């Protein structure tokens, strides 16, 4: 089997990858809906993989993996890797999880970091009311994540929150020492949210990046009594192109609150410091940024040896990303906690993707059933053509 084409179309705002072969089997992958600009980067790899056998996933990846980087520049490599696994699975007549060594669980736990209402304000009362709405969702989520401090607009919308100048730009560029008021406000909001959840639902926090290490430790210690699931990306994270494992370690070893990072990190080598120094308690690579499904699994296996948990990122990964997350999460060791449930960027995604349960039946009691359909277990139907842009009109034709 040979790769005959690599295409990328922007569907909604997702860069969607399709790899065609000379045997009529094709594979799909995608990047987050925040990254339509990645299309050229996908096509950049085309000449490097044409003619290769897509079932030899690692052999193909060796040709392109070195030319990726931290988020967002790991997206194209990752989306191609997912499409290769899709082909390998279809060719073998097996779901991807079988090719990765088989499943460890029949259903995978998901957490909510994505299905939310706009916050009225960053007051403890409004944050608690917002949390109540999420707790009451029919998904019956067992873990819910909320953004506080530098993640979201709390730091910039709350007067005298920190010593620093607000920069208006994408993905949380602000950083600085928090004021006493800022610290107290953050703690009050977290306590109010946890009050709503009780001990029935775990509370996770996305906190930065932008918290300085001393404040990160102060917050983590002050919130120990709340029994958080984790505090995420306090020091670095999101689009930060480095790790700073030592700073995380200083925080982690001095508090019982679990510390989490990793959604922006590309490749296993860049997780080594975090894992081997046991600098965090939970890591959250995203299969569509870290280098793909097999890369994420390798990192999870290695992290498990060091007692580190896995809670993969997924917010904007869409339905194709959901399928990839289900396949890989089914195979992870027992350090697996839950992945962050992506949702469809637009409702119509549910009309054009076949193979997933209907929207309102996909998540039952905070879990998704692992399906046995070959490959990713999903495919586009004819409706999808309606959503192709003119420049991508030949996306589904070979
Ligand atoms: Mg995050």
- CATH number at 57 reads 3.30.390.10
**CB neighbours of 235 closer than 8 A, spacing ≥ 6?**
208, 209, 211, 212, 213, 216, 244, 247, 248, 251, 261
DSSP 197-233: HTTTSEEEEE--S-B-HHHHHHHHHHTGGG--SEEES
Single out the residue of 151, 129, 132, 128 nearest to residue 233, CA to CA.
151
Domain annotation covers residue 233: yes
The alpha carbon of 237 and the centre of ligand 1 are apart by a number of angstroms equal to 7
The span from the first CA to the last CA of the chain, in angstroms, equals: 15
Domain annotation covers residue 398: no
- Here the CATH number for the domain that contains residue 311 is 3.20.20.120
- pLDDT bucket at 398, cuts 50 / 70 / 90: confident
Same domain membership, residue 384 and residue 348: no
Domain annotation covers residue 318: yes
The alpha carbon of 248 and the centre of ligand 1 are apart by a number of angstroms equal to 15
Res 379: pLDDT: 98
The alpha carbon of 376 and the centre of ligand 1 are apart by a number of angstroms equal to 25
The alpha carbon of 123 and the centre of ligand 1 are apart by a number of angstroms equal to 21
- pLDDT bucket at 208, cuts 50 / 70 / 90: very high
pTM for this model (two decimals): 0.97
Do the Cβ atoms of 22 and 37 come closer than 8 Å? Answer: no
Same domain membership, residue 332 and residue 193: yes
Please state, in angstroms and rounded to a whole number, the distance separating the CA atoms of residues 231 and 211. 11
Please write the tens of the pLDDT for every residue from 237-264: 999 999 999 999 999 999 999 999 999 9
Q: Mean pLDDT in the chain?
A: 97
The yes-or-no verdict on residue 319 having pLDDT over 90 is yes
DSSP 114-152: S--PPPS-SSHHHHHHHHHHHHTSTT--SEEEEE-TTSS
Q: Are strands 162-163 and 367-369 parallel, antiparallel or unpaired?
A: unpaired
Domain tally, the chain? 2
Q: Give me the mean pLDDT over the 163-172 stretch.
A: 88
Domain annotation covers residue 121: yes
Same domain membership, residue 104 and residue 227: yes
Same domain membership, residue 210 and residue 79: no
Domain annotation covers residue 243: yes
Q: Which domain holds residue 192?
A: 99-376
The alpha carbon of 368 and the centre of ligand 1 are apart by a number of angstroms equal to 21
Same domain membership, residue 108 and residue 73: no
Domain annotation covers residue 266: yes
The alpha carbon of 145 and the centre of ligand 1 are apart by a number of angstroms equal to 9
Please state, in angstroms and rounded to a whole number, the distance separating the CA atoms of residues 22 and 30. 22
Same domain membership, residue 124 and residue 62: no
The alpha carbon of 93 and the centre of ligand 1 are apart by a number of angstroms equal to 35
Same domain membership, residue 10 and residue 56: yes
Same domain membership, residue 148 and residue 118: yes
The yes-or-no verdict on residue 336 having pLDDT over 90 is yes
Please write the tens of the pLDDT for every residue from 103-153: 999 999 999 999 999 999 999 999 999 999 999 999 999 999 999 999 999
Same domain membership, residue 204 and residue 76: no
The alpha carbon of 233 and the centre of ligand 1 are apart by a number of angstroms equal to 6
Q: 11 φ, ψ to 5°?
A: -110, 120
Domain annotation covers residue 397: no
Same domain membership, residue 169 and residue 20: no
Same domain membership, residue 250 and residue 133: yes
Do the Cβ atoms of 360 and 343 come closer than 8 Å? Answer: no
Same domain membership, residue 168 and residue 287: yes
Domain annotation covers residue 329: yes
Please write the tens of the pLDDT for every residue from 27-75: 999 999 999 999 999 999 999 999 999 999 999 999 999 999 999 999 9
Half-sphere exposure of 393 (CA within 13 A, CB side): 2
**CB neighbours of 87 closer than 8 A, spacing ≥ 6?**
1, 19, 21, 25, 26, 27, 54, 55, 375
Helix (H) or strand (E) holding 248: helix 245-252
């Amino acid at each position: 089997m040979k790769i005959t084409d690599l295409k990328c179309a922007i569907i909604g705002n997702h860069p969607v990858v399709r790899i065609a072969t000379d045997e009529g089997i094709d594979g799909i992958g995608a990047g987050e809906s925040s990254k339509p600009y990645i299309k050229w980067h996908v096509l950049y790899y085309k000449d490097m993989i044409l003619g290769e056998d897509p079932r030899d996933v690692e052999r193909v990846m060796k040709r392109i993996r070195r030319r990726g980087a931290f988020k967002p520049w790991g997206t194209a490599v990752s989306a191609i890797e997912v499409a290769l696994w899709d082909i390998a699975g279809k060719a073998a007549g097996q779901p991807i999880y079988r090719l990765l060594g088989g499943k460890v669980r029949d259903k995978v736990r998901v957490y909510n970091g994505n299905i939310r209402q706009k916050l009225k304000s960053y007051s403890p009362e409004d944050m608690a009311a917002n949390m109540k709405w999420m707790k009451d969702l029919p998904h019956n989520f067992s873990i819910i994540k909320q953004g506080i401090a530098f993640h979201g607009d709390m730091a910039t919308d709350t007067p005298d929150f920190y010593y620093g100048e607000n920069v208006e730009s994408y993905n949380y560029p602000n950083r600085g020492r928090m004021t006493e008021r800022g610290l107290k406000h953050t703690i009050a909001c977290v306590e109010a949210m946890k009050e709503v959840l009780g001990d029935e639902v775990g509370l996770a926090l996305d906190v930065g990046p932008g918290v300085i290490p001393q404040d990160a430790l102060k917050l983590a210690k002050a919130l120990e009594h709340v029994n958080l699931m984790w505090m995420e990306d306090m020091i670095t994270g999101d689009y930060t192109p480095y790790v700073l494992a030592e700073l995380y370690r200083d925080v982690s070893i001095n508090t019982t609150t679990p510390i989490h990072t990793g959604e922006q990190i590309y490749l296993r080598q860049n997780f080594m410091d975090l894992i081997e120094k046991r600098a965090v308690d939970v890591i959250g690579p995203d299969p569509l940024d870290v280098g793909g499904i097999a890369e994420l699994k390798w990192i999870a296996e290695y992290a498990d040896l060091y007692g580190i948990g896995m809670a993969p990122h997924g917010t904007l990964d869409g339905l194709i990303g959901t399928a990839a997350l289900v396949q890989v999460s089914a195979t992870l060791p027992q350090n697996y906690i839950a992945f962050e449930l992506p949702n469809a960027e637009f409702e119509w995604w549910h009309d054009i993707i076949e193979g997933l349960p209907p929207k309102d039946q996909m998540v039952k009691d905070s879990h998704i059933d692992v399906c046995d359909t070959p490959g990713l277990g999903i495919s586009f139907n004819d409706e999808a053509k309606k959503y192709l842009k003119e420049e991508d009109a030949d996306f589904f034709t070979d």
